[in-house]
Amino acid sequence: MRAFTDQTSGSVCPSSDAASRSVKKGGPSENSNATLAQVLQMAKLNNVPRDLIDRNIKKAQDKNQADYTEMTYEAYGLGGVGIVIDILTDNVNRSSASVRAAVNKAGCKMADPGSVLFNFKRCAAVVLSDGSEDEVFAAATEAGAEDIQPREGDLPGWMVLSEVAAYGEVSSALRAAGLPIVDDESGLRMVPLVKVDVPDDEAFEKNLALVDTLLELDDVDAVVINQSED
């Protein structure tokens, strides 16, 4: 499962793979595994077939399956932008070496844990393809959402942000209000709290090229950069 939504925020919608990883980390019971419970709820809202999820949950309990580790690397891009790289790997040394090599080759540098991540927030996003600002704001506020933003990529619509645990409630409330939800763009998301302007065109393009390079690595699950589009 891999994700990158334009050049400012990453989006990861739950899949059968996400359920498998949750089981390996916290067990197969959604009653005692809060992460699995959230994945199942979001998978249902995104129309992921339950039989596919059940097969992956069963597969995750097979002791012959390789153990995968989730990791997050942080890096500084050109112009002081922050880059967050989510990894899913069965070989930490391989992943670390490949990510570091890509970052260094691009003329950027790895960052200490926490030095970049504090500029981002993991949240849930419900993307709408239409609706007036007043209508969306009223429905989102009543549902307990934290913020609304224009939809990314200059597309019409809105992005409603909430705490991860509130995703199901907010999504259901917006749908009940008759607002059109873009299911394949909605889900878990890393949102930059501060965006960085990079006025140098060459540096701007090199940062985007680094993102593309990182996403080509087998172990990279998602990449987020807080470079401003302007």
Q: What is the mean pLDDT of the chain?
A: 81
CATH code, residues 10-60: 1.10.10.200
CATH 3.30.70.980 in the chain: give the residue spans: 69-230
Q: Contact 124/166 with Cβ under 8 angstroms?
A: yes
Separation of alpha carbons 2 and 15, rounded Å: 10
CA dist list (Å): 165 to 39, 52, 91, 197? 10, 23, 30, 32
pLDDT in tens, 47-84: 566 676 676 677 666 666 667 788 899 999 999 999 99
CATH 1.10.10.200 in the chain: give the residue spans: 10-60
Domain 69-230 has CATH 3.10.110.10: no
pLDDT in tens, 160-219: 999 888 888 898 899 999 999 987 778 777 888 888 999 999 999 999 999 999 988 888
Report the candidate in 90, 117, 87, 91 with the shortest Cα–Cα distance to residue 102.
87
Residue 47 C-alpha from the chain's centroid: 18
